[in-house]
Structure 1
Amino acid sequence: MTNPLKPEVGGASRRDFLKTTTVAAGVAAAASLFPSGVHAAGNDAIRVGLIGCGGRGTGAADNVLHSAPNVSIVALADAFGDRLKDCLNFLTSKAAQEDRVKELGNKVEIPKERCFVGLDAYQKLIEQSDVNYIILATPPGFRPYHLRAAVESGKTIFTEKPVATDAPGIRVVLEAAKNSEAKGQHIVSGTQRRHQLGYLESMKRIHDGEMGDVTSGRAYWNQGVLWFKPHTKDQTEVQYQMRNWYNFPWLCGDQIVEQHIHNLDVINWGIGSHPIRATGMGGRQRSVPNPEDYGVIFDHFATDYEYANGVHVQSMCRQIDGCHNDVSEALVGTKGQWRSGGYNLNGKPAITKEQEKGAQDPYVQEHTDLIEAVRSGKPLNELNRVAESTMTCILGRMSNYTGKSLTWEQALNSKEQLMPEPSKLDWNTELPKWAVAVPGKTPFA
């Protein structure tokens, strides 16, 4: 498969291309620092349907209620009824009690007939004619297939990151991205640093050449153990693994995909492209009381990413208690360097403390930007870009799991399918006997 992810910049230089795209994003964010600033050609009603009512989905629904006026949440879908009920109670309480939500005139209006439960709940919600704005926030393994259905509907989409857990899933997303662009759909992804003022101003200045040409970089997400859910006697294996989704690569993608995507997305943004090769070494060695509860994911990854212009980036992510923690990005150039902490560019902050304090929460801003684009008719579609960042992470995981140095093309063309088509999945499906990968023994497929 050829590489459909690389941006086409025609005869312009990469720096000119980056300057144009970053300035455009910066203008959009600067024009909408506060939800009350939404002044579009119309004030069309945004009627939100949420697919995936866990912590991130509930959070995203809360964010959209704070993002712009004339927004209503009208439908919910989840595989599990208890998650949907908890989400409904939380959002109903927020709408009734939060002054900002009431000030914007936003509502939660979810009748029983628009609450959908089960593995096919996403289809039922997408089919609702009353929904025109879909939030996709299920475990990432489902994302390619939910995206495909949402794109077919022609509705506005906010999709959480990552957008796949394997290369076949990425290929589904790429086709969906192509179709969405042909339709002129508006799509934003949950890589919220792309909507965060400090990052936007940093990237604008980097692409303007203040740091010179990028020569190297680093990306870290090092923290303690995250979470797990124990297996209960009443659960089938599918129910258990979906409840404990973070600890199984078919659903989560592992930390390097599900979490570290934020950092690697920033690196790709700064360099202006995706890597061409990854060489990694990782494993699993933390001591926990019940190892089986932590599925088959690694607890540490270290990856050297090589880019087409000879730039190498050091990537590390880890989830082990009692260690030094660091969540950050940095780029080094021929004339200086940038660090994400304080948005420090060549020794000075890219934005002032006052600007940082006044900027809107990026988790809210990404919805503000999407709604403004819908109401103004301006194009905004991030699906291809988040597919590129997701594939960057999958490439790194493949290299760490196998111990092989792998190219972008090898990874993108991989036949290893972790996630089955949702239509072939039910609560009693017999899942593969997953095992923790062993570098040097686990084959690349």
Structure 2
Amino acid sequence: MRATMDKPGKAATRVDRRRFIGRSMALASAPLLVSPQDKPQTPIGASPDFSRKIKLGVVGCGGRGSWIAGLFHKHTGYQVYALADYFPEVAARCGQAVGVDTARQFSGLSGYKRLIASGVEAVALETPPYFFPEHAAAAVDAGLHVYMAKPVSSDVPGCLTIENLGRKASQKQRCFFVDYQMPTDPVNIEVVKRIHEGTMGKLDYLVTLGFTSAFEDPPRTATLESRLQKLIWVNDIAMGCDYIGNYDIHAIDVALWVARRRPVAAAGASRICRPDPHGDSRDVCSVVYEFDDGLVLNHCGEAMGNHGKVVLACQVYGGKGSAEINYWGNSFLRGGTRPYRGGEVENLYEAGAVRNIATFYENVTQGRFENTTVRRAVDGALTTILGREAGIRHARLTMDQVLKENKHLEMDLSGLKS
């Protein structure tokens, strides 16, 4: 199924996707937090007070990292104080753009350690997901606030680490925020609000769609260095969590937002379609998820260079109505007791990040340490890992099985600069 239920206001192309990503078990069994993405509390029309400057370090200064650094700089409530990237020239380019002293531009695998020790009070983590648990743990242990991209990890142990770190940050009165954009959009928020109010009746069926383009997957070199750039790492499951975990997860996160819990089982199939692959990420997948009450989620993912339309969507079907929640195009709710015509989701890639950066600022300066984004981000990553494993094995797996396996994914970092 390639088309969404409603014609989008502006067509999304494969070029959009490159812009999108290129600029882009006891604790685990606790109930899923149901709130949407935290949103700024400053009243409409009020002038925000940015007299308090948060000293920020950005770890990962490639396409999205440098773009995020620019948004933090533009906010004016932050001082982008330090940068770290494996490649020194990447850190230097970003540092020149946002005015960071060369003495606080760090490189190599351990650059993040020098950044943490440089005097920052918050970090934005924008590296490949493989490194998130290690970097986040160092930041929380150092007493820093954490702003983090998704997915939170590429494997189960990493997900459980992030969940523990979210709790630890709250205990230390520090913020830990995971950046998802779809739950920040006003139209999407209203659609989900009405669903939760019961306007559609009992929820019966969910569909999530993740259609995008492929990325270059060149031959491996003597070390991993060549795959740490130009989004080549998306092709490596351990580094990027597979396409279902790196891209499709936006739509799956919305399904969990709607369902207010994660699934208990999944069955699926997946395959590599790109010619001459050198990584192990799957280009297509079809996964059927089951929830504890019988609710079914059908997920379709595709990442190939076939000039198809870019889609990130969650379709919701209840006994009395249906709805669609989108990253691009229109979101709406039809039928039910409170239908909602909705409207276009506008400029979400940038607008969502801007909203989240504003929320992070308010959380830090106003002492809001509940860190409610962490739990659903962990559940979303675990859900994509469950689907990924079911697809690779062409089997039905339960979430309990995957948690019990607790499989750690390892990358060979030998030969890389420290």
TM-score (norm 1): 0.79
- Report whether the alignment pairs 1:240 with 2:231: no
Cα distance in 2 between the residues matched to 1:171 and 1:262: 20
Aligned counterparts of 2:44 and 2:404: Cα–Cα separation in 1: 41
Of 378, 389, 392, which residue of structure 2 is paired with 1:387?
378
The match for 1:365 is 355
- Contact 1:29–1:195 (CA<8 Å) still a contact in 2? no
Question: After the TM superposition, which segments of 4 or more aligned residues of structure 1 sit over 6 Å from their partners?
Answer: 357-360
Please give the alpha-carbon distance, in whole angstroms, between the structure 1 residues aligned to 2:343 and 2:90: 41
Q: Distance in 2 between matches of 1:213 and 1:416?
A: 36
Give the deviation of 1:428 after TM superposition: 5.5
Match of 1:399 in 2: 390
Q: Does the 8 A contact of 2:109 with 2:416 survive in 1?
A: no
> Is the partner of 1:313 in helix, strand or coil?
strand
Residue 142 (1) aligns with residue 128 (2): no
The more displaced of 342-351 and 211-220 is: 342-351
Unaligned runs of 5+ in 1: 9-16, 93-107, 430-445
CA shift, 1:368, in A, is 0.5
CA separation of 1:358/1:419 partners in 2, compared to 1, >3 Å: closer, same or farther?
closer
Instruction: Indicate which of 403, 424, 427 corresponds to 2:415.
Output: 427
Give the match for residue 62 of structure 1.
70
How far apart are 1:313 and its partner, in Å? 0.6
| DSSP 3-state at the match of 2:150 | coil
Query: 2:166 aligned with 1:180, yes or no?
Result: no
Report the secondary structure of 2:200's partner residue.
Answer: coil
What SS is found at the alignment partner of 1:416? coil
State the Cα distance separating 1:145 from its structure 2 match.
0.9
Which residue among 273, 293, 317 is the counterpart of 1:332? 317
Amino acid at match of 1:397: R
**Identity between Structure 1 and Structure 2 (%):** 25
In 2, distance between residues paired with 1:331 and 1:135?
Answer: 33
Q: Which amino acid is 1:86 matched to?
A: R
Change (3 A) 1:241 1:31: same
Report the Cα offset of residue 311 of structure 1.
0.4
Q: CA deviation at 1:323?
A: 6.1
Q: Distance in 2 between matches of 1:255 and 1:359?
A: 18
CA distance in 2, matches of 1:404, 1:314: 15
Structure 1 CA distance, aligned partners of 2:347 and 2:86?
38
Does 2:331 align with 1:343? yes
For residue 365 of structure 1, report the CA deviation from its aligned partner. Answer: 0.6
Q: Give per-residue Cα distances to partners, 1:269-301, cap 9 Å, x unaligned.
A: 000000100111010123x4xx24x52221101
- Would the aligned equivalents of 1:280 and 1:301 in 2 still touch at CA under 8 Å? yes
**1:51 corresponds to 2:59:** yes
Report the equivalent of 1:114: 104
Counterpart secondary structure, 1:298 = coil
Distance 1:71 1:328, change over 3 A: same
Give the RMSD, CA atoms, in angstroms.
2.7
Partner of 2:260: 272
1:169 aligned onto 2:158 = yes
As a proportion of its length, which structure holds more helix? 1
Residues in 1 aligned to 2:402 and 2:240: alpha-carbon distance in whole angstroms: 18
1:223 aligns with 2:209: no
Q: Deviations over 1:170-223 (max 9, x none)?
A: 222222122112122212212111222222222222112222222111111112
Q: Residue 248 of structure 2 contacts residue 312 of structure 2 at CA under 8 Å; is this kept in 1? A: no
What secondary structure sits across from 2:317 in the alignment?
A: strand
Q: Retained in 1: the 8 A contact 2:267–2:289?
A: yes
Q: Residues 179 and 350 (structure 1 numbering): CA distance in 2 closer, same or farther, change over 3 Å?
A: farther
Write the letter of the residue equivalent to 1:7. Answer: P
TM-score, normalised to structure 2, is: 0.84
SS at match of 2:157: helix
Q: CA deviation at 1:63?
A: 2.1
Check the 8 A contact 2:256/2:376 in 1, yes or no.
no
Matched pairs, number: 383
Residue 84 (1) aligns with residue 94 (2): no
Q: Residues of 2 paired with 1:30 and 1:212: CA distance?
A: 31
- Separation of aligned partners in 2, 1:181 and 1:255: 31
CA positional deviation for 1:32: 6.4
In structure 2, list runs of 5 or more residues that go unmatched. Answer: 1-24
Q: How far does the alpha carbon of each residue in 1:418-441 deviate from its partner, in whole angstroms, 9 at most, with x for none?
A: 135xxx944259xxxxxxxxxxxx
* Counterpart mapping for 1:183-222 below 5 A: 183-222=172-211
**Amino acid corresponding to residue 295 of structure 1 in structure 2:** G
Tell me what 1:375 maps to: 365
Instruction: Give the structure 1 partner of residue 408 of structure 2.
Output: 417
Q: Structure 1's 66 and 215: CA in aligned 2 closer, same or farther, altered over 3 A?
A: farther
Contact 1:50 1:77 in 2 (8 A): yes
Maintained 8 Å contact 1:304/1:312: yes
Q: 1:71 aligns with which of 74, 78, 91?
A: 78
In 2, are the aligned partners of 1:197 and 1:356 still within 8 Å (CA)?
no
Q: Is the 8 A contact 1:65 1:71 kept in 2?
A: yes
Once residues 366 and 207 of structure 2 are traced to their aligned partners in structure 1, the CA distance between those partners, rounded to angstroms, is: 37
Question: Deviation at 1:358?
Answer: 12
* Aligned-partner SS, 1:343: strand
- For 2:66, give the aligned amino acid: T
- The whole-number CA distance in structure 1 between the counterparts of 2:121 and 2:95 is 19
Larger Rg: 1
Per-residue CA deviations over 1:381-408 (Å, capped at 9, x if unaligned) read: 1222211111111111111111121111
Deviations 1:97-129 (A, max 9, x none): xxxxxxxxxxx3x11211111100111111222
The answer to whether the 8 Å contact 2:250/2:312 transfers is: no
Alpha-carbon distance change, 3 to 278 in structure 1, aligned in 2, over 3 angstroms = farther
